[in-house]
Structure 1
Amino acid sequence: MYPKDYPILPNPTQSHPILPNPTQKTTQKTTQKILDAISNNPNVTRLELSEICGITADGVKWQLRNLTKSGRTH
């Protein structure tokens, strides 16, 4: 199908061994924004967090679930 010397591209879902994973950095920044917002206002809503972070309410729900599992929130 392809010539033997055709370059094989890396799997886009795998991290590059040298370059930082941009998705992981974005997730860390979002997590920090959520933690900061909760620290500033413990009664902040998921909708407000989504507006602060620029992600969907479901994205906030995912983040909060992971924070709870890791013990960083309760």
Structure 2
Amino acid sequence: MTTCLEWTSIAHCITDSPQVILQKLFLELTFQKGKILPHRKFLAQRGDQYSDSHRACIHAALNILEYQRILDEET
């Protein structure tokens, strides 16, 4: 991802406009959702062959929750 669009933290966005901050957050949320979509169909499956899909979905979902926490905290 291009550095100017990459989300780091709210502290690193001091000079960015509120619109740019929201665009960065929404871009990151879309990226995380894109990580979940290809693996979603395997979430209900059991077995070791699906563990990578489970991990990918859980990791992306936790990232989304963290971004939601940041938005809630900052607004």
TM-score (norm 1): 0.34
> Could you say which structure has the greater relative contact order, defined with CA pairs below 8 angstroms and 6 or more residues apart?
2
In terms of Rg, which structure is larger?
A: 1
Q: Whose helix fraction is larger, Structure 1's or Structure 2's?
A: 2
